[in-house]
């Protein structure tokens, strides 16, 4: 039975501030984040021109890369967990046919925008619904691919999410995620300073603190939940031109905490302590 979370809400100040900007008709915010709520991907980062239009193209390119890594083809059933405003579902809808596309999110405002702006093309089906990543309201073996694009760090438990993804995927299905992954040496230090940064992160990104997971733990998690890690793409360098654009957008009034948190992420990424990775896991056991 599906859990009832209709009255459940988590505080997401960063997203609330964005939806407020959209309703005020902020053209820059709409172009940068009206479709995707994730970083950009530049195959040649030296060619990034720092404009919001260039960033919007790069964000779409990241969606293309993720769907390539997930080996998405026509005719599949895809679940996008933490679907934001539905940008990845929109991109799949435009490029593939005979698709069953489902986006879930814990946040009502984002789902409303997704429902308003993303419409299934003929031969595709799209559904957006409110659900928690760790309690997926779907039957066993019902999807070919599960995606979590820059969302897994916000879930209450990676392990619960992996177990749920395994349950709803067909044998041979794929779970493909993007995450900011700490190198091992930094991870040990991070655990020590985590307490000190917790308040800022909670006030900015929501009621759950960012929760890093190094690659070695992802491998162990995969093994324990019936997956095998089959592809790892370190695209840190290709995402770095995101920061000047996002920082300039966030510097506006009321976004100071988001700006500071993102600056921290930038510093760690430029120093190679955090790596932006796409990881793809295949269901390995029944
Ligand atoms: C950085 S955004 C990424 C959005 C989208 N994947 C994209 O790439 O445009 C993180 C998303 O995860 C969602 N989220 C956070 N916790 C969640 C949970 N427990 N279950 C489902 N979605 C969640 C947020 O509401 C937000 O839409």
Confidence of residue 225 (pLDDT cuts 50, 70, 90): very high
Mean pLDDT, all residues of the chain: 90
pTM, entire model: 0.92
pLDDT at 191: 78
Say how many Å lie between the CA of residue 168 and the centre of ligand 1. 19
- Mutate which of 105, 113, 161 to test ligand 1's pocket (most atoms within 8 Å of Cβ)? 105
CATH H superfamily, domain 13-283:
Vaccinia Virus protein VP39 (3.40.50.150)
Per-residue pLDDT tens digits for 233-284 = 999 999 999 999 998 887 765 567 778 888 888 999 999 999 999 999 999 9
Q: Does the CB atom of residue 169 touch ligand 1 within 6 A?
A: no
Q: How far is the CA of 64 from the centre of ligand 1 (A)?
A: 18
Are the beta carbons of 86 and 34 closer than 8 angstroms?
A: no
């Amino acid at each position: 039975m599906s859990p009832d979370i209709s009255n459940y809400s988590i505080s997401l100040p960063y997203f609330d501030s964005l939806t407020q900007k959209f309703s005020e008709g902020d053209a820059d915010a709409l172009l940068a984040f009206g479709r995707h709520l994730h970083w950009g991907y530049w195959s040649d980062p030296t060619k990034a021109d720092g404009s919001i239009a260039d960033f919007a193209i790069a964000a779409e390119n990241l969606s293309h890369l993720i769907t390539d890594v997930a080996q998405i083809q026509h005719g599949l059933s895809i679940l996008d967990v933490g679907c934001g405003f539905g940008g990845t579902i929109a991109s799949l809808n435009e490029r593939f046919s005979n698709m069953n596309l489902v986006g879930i999110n814990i946040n009502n405002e984002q789902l409303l925008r997704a429902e308003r702006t993303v419409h299934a093309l003929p031969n595709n089906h799209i559904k957006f619904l409110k659900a928690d990543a760790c309690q997926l309201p779907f039957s066993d073996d019902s999807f070919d691919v599960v995606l979590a694009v820059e969302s897994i760090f916000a879930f209450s438990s990676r392990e619960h999410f992996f177990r749920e993804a395994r349950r709803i995927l067909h044998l041979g299905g794929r779970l493909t995620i993007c995450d900011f992954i700490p190198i091992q040496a930094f991870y040990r230090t991070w655990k020590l300073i985590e307490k000190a940064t917790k308040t800022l992160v909670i006030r900015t990104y929501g009621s759950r603190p960012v929760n890093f997971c190094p690659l070695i733990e992802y491998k162990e998690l995969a093994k324990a939940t019936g997956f095998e890690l089959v592809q790892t793409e370190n695209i840190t360098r290709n995402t770095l031109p995101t920061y000047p654009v996002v920082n300039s957008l966030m510097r506006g009034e009321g976004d100071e905490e988001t700006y500071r948190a993102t600056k921290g992420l930038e510093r760690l990424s430029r120093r190679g302590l955090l790596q932006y990775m796409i990881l793809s896991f295949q269901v390995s056991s029944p």
